[in-house]
């Protein structure tokens, strides 16, 4: 279980998180939504200790990672698999080498064992016969899936996804959504997705929380968010320019219909 308690974080004099409280139960599939730049990636990075909060605590299975020695933090970090927004694959390495990165660094498994694991994890994300290719030879959707195979290579308890469908066509986005759901069930992991893609949010979430102005302003099921009276939440989920959220003006012209900010 993950407990985020009253965390705050500013960059310079700009507050990004202003007291975020969130409990994530084991096995849950939670989606964190919010406008671009609202702090979703910053919040995810806190969970794996890549960013430390200015105040507040983050408990991973009852251990506070904000006051941990580095060696303990590395141990806790191994509970997480992360699919970064860019997929973060190394271009000079083959698909197999990319998938095996964590295994190379943190285990003493033999080359043979690692080949089996890579093949197995790639099969789980629907890829075969790509082990010897380089990322440049893959489509965007395939890169995401290789990134996902790498994220699950070390059998994590928690899988974090940062904007997993952004930049994909709707069909590929749906394939990734299906995968997120299937892995949550088959691997028995806790799934945390951050996105501004509401189609994806409705599809994969047991629970949706909305981050807005540095706090959690909504927390409920997909059915509950669809029926909320909260005007800010409604404007976001319906993707409307008019409403309490003011689009950022560019060159003095307010961009109507801009929902990504
Ligand atoms: N390392 C950093 N240093 C300074 N500012 C940062 C850093 N990381 C994020 N920010 C700022 O924090 C805000 C939230 O960023 P981010 O979490 O990436 O937003 P998003 O919700 O789109 O993922 C942005 O204004 C961003 O510029
Ligand atoms: Mg982000």
How many Å lie between the centroid of ligand 1 and the Cα of residue 261? Answer: 13
Interior angle at CA 166, CA 87 and CA 190, nearest 5? 65
Q: Is the pLDDT of residue 258 over 50?
A: no
Q: Which residue has the tokens 């959220």?
A: 245
Helices and strands counted in the chain (H then E): 10, 12
Burial of 62 (0-12, 13-18, 19+ CB in 10 A): exposed
**Would you say 235 and 217 are in contact if contact means Cβ atoms under 8 Å apart?**
no
- Other Cβ atoms less than 10 A from the Cβ of 21: the count is 13
Closest-approaching ligand to the CA atom of 9: 1
Question: pLDDT tens across 136-182, in order?
Answer: 999 989 999 999 999 999 999 999 999 999 989 999 999 999 999 99
- Reported pTM: 0.91
Q: How far is CA 120 from CA 5, 42, 74, in A?
A: 37, 32, 25
DSSP state of 16: E
- Mean pLDDT of all residues belonging to the chain: 92
How many Å lie between the centroid of ligand 2 and the Cα of residue 42? Answer: 7
Pairing verdict, β 158-162 and 80-83: parallel
Task: Give me the mean pLDDT over the 67-86 stretch.
Answer: 92
**Residue 38 near ligand 1, beta carbon < 6 Å:** yes
Question: What is the residue-wise DSSP string for 218-236?
Answer: EEE-HHHHHT---HHHHHH
**Would you say 187 and 193 are in contact if contact means Cβ atoms under 8 Å apart?**
no
SS3 84: coil
64: its two tokens: 């506070």
Query: What pLDDT does residue 87 have?
Result: 79
Q: Is the pLDDT of residue 256 over 90?
A: no
Beta strands in 47-100 (DSSP E): 55-60, 63-64, 80-83
Query: What pLDDT does residue 88 have?
Result: 87
The length of the chain in residues reads 261
Pocket-testing residue among 16, 43, 85, 161, ligand 1, by greatest number of atoms within 8 A of Cβ: 16
Task: Give me the mean pLDDT over the 64-81 stretch.
Answer: 94
Question: pLDDT tens across 14-45, in order?
Answer: 999 999 999 999 999 999 999 999 999 999 99
Return the exposure string of 193-222: e unless at least 16 CB atoms fall within 10 Å of the residue's CB, then b: bbbbbbebbbbbbebbbbbbebebebebeb
Which residues make beta-bridge pairs with 115?
A: none
Helix (H) or strand (E) holding 159: strand 158-162
Q: Is the pLDDT of residue 190 over 90?
A: yes
CB under 5 Å of ion ligand 2: residues = 41
Contacts of 32 (CB under 8 A, 6+ apart): 40, 43, 44, 192, 193, 194, 195, 208, 209, 210, 211
Q: Which residue has the tokens 């690692």?
A: 114
């Amino acid at each position: 279980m993950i407990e985020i308690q009253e965390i705050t974080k500013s960059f310079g004099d700009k507050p990004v998180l202003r007291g975020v409280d969130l409990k994530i139960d084991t096995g849950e599939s939670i989606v964190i939504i919010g406008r671009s730049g609202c702090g979703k990636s910053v919040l995810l990075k806190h969970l794996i200790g890549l960013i430390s909060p200015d105040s507040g605590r983050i408990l991973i299975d009852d251990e506070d990672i904000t006051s941990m020695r580095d060696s303990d933090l590395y141990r806790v970090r191994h509970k997480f698999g992360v699919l970064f927004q860019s997929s973060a694959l190394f271009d000079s390495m083959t698909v197999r080498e990319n998938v095996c990165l964590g295994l190379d660094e943190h285990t003493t498994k033999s080359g043979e064992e690692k080949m089996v694991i890579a093949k197995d994890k790639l099969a789980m994300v629907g890829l075969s016969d790509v082990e010897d290719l380089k990322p440049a030879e893959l489509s965007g959707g395939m890169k995401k899936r290789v990134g996902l195979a790498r994220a699950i290579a070390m059998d994590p308890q928690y899988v974090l996804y940062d904007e997993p469908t952004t930049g994909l066509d709707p069909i590929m986005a749906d394939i990734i959504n299906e995968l997120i759901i299937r892995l949550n069930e088959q691997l028995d992991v806790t799934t945390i997705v951050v996105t501004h893609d509401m189609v994806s949010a409705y599809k994969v979430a047991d629970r949706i929380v909305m981050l807005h102005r540095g706090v959690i302003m909504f927390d409920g099921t997909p059915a509950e968010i669809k029926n909320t009276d909260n005007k800010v939440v409604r404007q976001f989920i319906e993707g409307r320019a008019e409403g309490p959220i003011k689009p950022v003006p560019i060159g003095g012209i307010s961009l109507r219909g801009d929902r990504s900010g």
